[in-house]
Amino acid sequence: MRCPRCDKLGSRVLDSRPLHNGKTTRRRRECENCGARFTTYEQILIKLPAVVKHDGRREDFNRLKLQRGLEIACTKLAVPRSRLELICDDIEIAISDLGVAEVTSRQIGESVMDHLRRLHPVAYVRFASVYRRFEDAGQFLEEVDRLNPQ
């Protein structure tokens, strides 16, 4: 590991701690040359398929975009951030397990809606209203009725 202060190679690990349910390792290091201490993070990189958008454009999967959408849907609701992280993890694993080079944004959106339907009805309707492009209050009512069949 290259030291951020003196730019020399060589450091020793002082402390290691697992984070995010063991998916990340935090390491506290000390440079063998200048003695500077710094922190590194080690993560498993998952190869994710490209996302094919509604208009045919392709882009790399972006976990931050997924997380932001979930956070917006859950704004001012009693939903712990850790639960949203787990949903992101589940979706990443599911699309990675498909073993394909591309996945549609529709597949991702439907997966998000399935998770939100089980998590919180208000978050689900918020996300659905944007994802399905609701244009009037009637569409909201239809979606709420689907949540509460009588």
Q: What is the pLDDT of residues 17-43, one digit of tens each?
A: 998 777 789 999 999 999 999 999 998
pTM above 0.75, yes or no: no
pLDDT confidence bin for 8, thresholds 50/70/90? very high
Q: What are phi and psi of 134, to 5 degrees?
A: -60, 140
**Burial label, 14 (beta-carbon count in 10 A; 0-12, 13-18, 19+):** exposed
Q: Quick one: which of 103, 104, 47, 92 has its CA closest to 66?
A: 92
Q: Is residue 136's pLDDT more than 90?
A: no
The pLDDT of residue 149: 61
Query: Residue 53: its pLDDT value, please?
Result: 94
